[in-house]
Structure 1
């Protein structure tokens, strides 16, 4: 029976297939809940990221209000169907891959292998992002266009395929991977480190209280998104460009720098991320940990009746 590198008391009672399945389900639920919560803020951020107008909190809320007045309440969640189609498999794969990469890399849970812990997070992010990238691009397109241009997720894929070609679905992939390596590495590293310190200094039980997990996730999200934000700008510009203006990473970097500068270009909308990022990551990590434990409790309790091979 394979064991993971976690101190999860259930892992010595479940086989690796059961561990993977519970991680997949918990990750899917966590991702869906977190992204739906902050979807209006996400749409606002993307619109400012790809445009030339300077960002401010007042302008962000003005955009939300105008969208509500012109297109209705549910327009604030426009593109969320594409987000769900992406985030459910993305979060499920990322959380599961993180557990498995820690197992493969033999991460020491006492904090003696920080490099491996960071690498496990980065590899988890790369794994999940690579497998779901076309859905991320489709969601970005839906978020920045009117519903008449792309009415459904299927229409996004069909229209892009016939008018821009298959490779368009991977436009912005390289800066995305650069950002993911930093973001996922910093985020998972921070969250796991805070949980370890909590266990060592405050409460030795395996799973911290939900409020503590929310706080740890919020800090992890804040640090992760702040460190990778410029690459997120480049990614969004390239993903949503249907005119061919942003031909390469270098061209996009130069264009943004010359026309908008460093602060107004590469960090546009970051303060919005400081609001939505900690909320989303906190909800995601806390939900994942608690749902995972709940599911594993059920399996352990009824393991004589449930056989998942």
Structure 2
């Protein structure tokens, strides 16, 4: 009997021992799990911190690669060429009214001018001077857009989530000054060809430079430069500032970093209207100085910016003088700038995708 009574004790001890072992194993397992969870949590935190640090590092201005600069140059050149070719007839009409003080501007008068030009010289005459425009706008737009990207990088515009509106305006202005300074003689040649016909004026772009060099002197190629620079500061600054600001506001409202073509076109149109209005009086002065012929043999002196501004005000008044043809600019300006900005963004994104695909094939 005593032996029979001892068996349950053995079972109880075995059970107790087993429960102790299972509790020990469970405790060890829970310790390992909690330790693993802690390690996982710590590693995830470290990964989050490293990823956030890498994100912050990516936002800092980096040295531009050759591919990025090349893509900006190509996209800018194509955008400028398409925009200017689209509005070339309107641009020629505007220049003719800007330099003539005897003919008041109106839509009816501008349409009449286009009709007379078409009847007299044919449809291609409406694009007269466009070859000079292309010779200028292709390098001008390429330099402007590319230099804008570099000035944004140098000035650290909107870096690390900041909202640097002042630097945004300065970057646009510096981009305009850079491109205008490097291509100004081509702008003057374009203006000369736009206000003359093929019978009494210049036949080719080369003839413009040759005649100006011989008859008026090489300094004439930069006549009106300072008026242009003073005008391009508010024009380019306001245009780039308005476009970049609208894109930023759109991104914050919708969370979409890439607006579609129509929205980009609308943002560019608003930027063009704002830029044209801000700089238009100096654009009048620039065209007057560019198309003014000075007889060097008679030692005539080219009037200064201030003298031309005073003369325009006295002879034509404030509205009809300084803002003559502005309504035409409100049509062609938004169209041109809208096409330019939206085309630049689209072509740049497309070229980047091609570059990434090409790079991926090479790595494979």
1:270 equivalent in alignment to 2:326: yes
Partner Cα distance (1:229, 1:6) in 2: 39
TM-score, with structure 1 as normaliser: 0.93
The structure with more helix, counted as a fraction of residues: 2
8 Å contact 1:178–1:231 — kept in the other structure?
Answer: yes
Give, in whole Å, the separation in 1 of the partners of 2:58 and 2:229: 26
Tell me by how many angstroms 1:111 deviates.
5.4
The equivalent residue for 1:261 is 317
CA distance in 1, matches of 2:115, 2:58: 45
Superposed CA deviations along residues 199-224 of structure 1, whole A, max 9, x for unmatched, are: 1102x333210000000000000000
Q: How does 1:1-309 map to 2 (within 5 A)?
A: 16-52=65-101, 53-108=103-158, 110=161, 112-148=163-199, 149-202=201-254, 204-243=255-294, 246-304=302-360
Counterparts in 2 of 1:15 and 1:300: CA distance versus 1, 3 Å: farther
For residues 206 and 6 of structure 1, the distance between their equivalents in structure 2, rounded to whole angstroms, comes to 17
Unmatched 5+ residue regions in structure 1? none
241-250 or 157-166: bigger deviation: 241-250
Q: What is the CA deviation profile of residues 154-201 of structure 1, one whole-angstrom value per residue up to 9, with x for unaligned ones?
A: 000000000000000000001100110000000000000000111110
Q: Once the 2 structures are TM-superposed, how far is the Cα of residue 108 of structure 1 from its aligned partner?
A: 1.2
The structure that has the greater radius of gyration is 2
Q: 1:287 to 1:150 in 2, by over 3 A?
A: same
Structure 2 unaligned spans of 5+: 1-54, 295-299
Instruction: Provide the secondary structure at the position in 2 that maps to 1:145.
Output: coil
Question: Does the Cα contact within 8 Å between 1:38 and 1:280 map onto a contact in 2?
Answer: yes
What CA distance in whole angstroms lies between the structure 1 residues aligned with 2:192 and 2:271? 27
- What RMSD in Å do the two structures reach over aligned CA positions? 2.0
1:111/1:193 contact within 8 Å kept = no
1:117 Cα offset (Å): 0.6
Question: Deviation at 1:6?
Answer: 9.9
- 8 Å CA contact 2:152, 2:168 repeated in 1: yes
Instruction: Please give the alpha-carbon distance, in whole angstroms, between the structure 1 residues aligned to 2:319 and 2:362.
Output: 55
TM-score by length of 2: 0.79
Q: Contact conserved, 1:38 with 1:276, CA < 8 A, in 2?
A: yes
Of the two structures, which has the highest relative contact order with CA contacts closer than 8 Å and spacing of 6 or more? 1
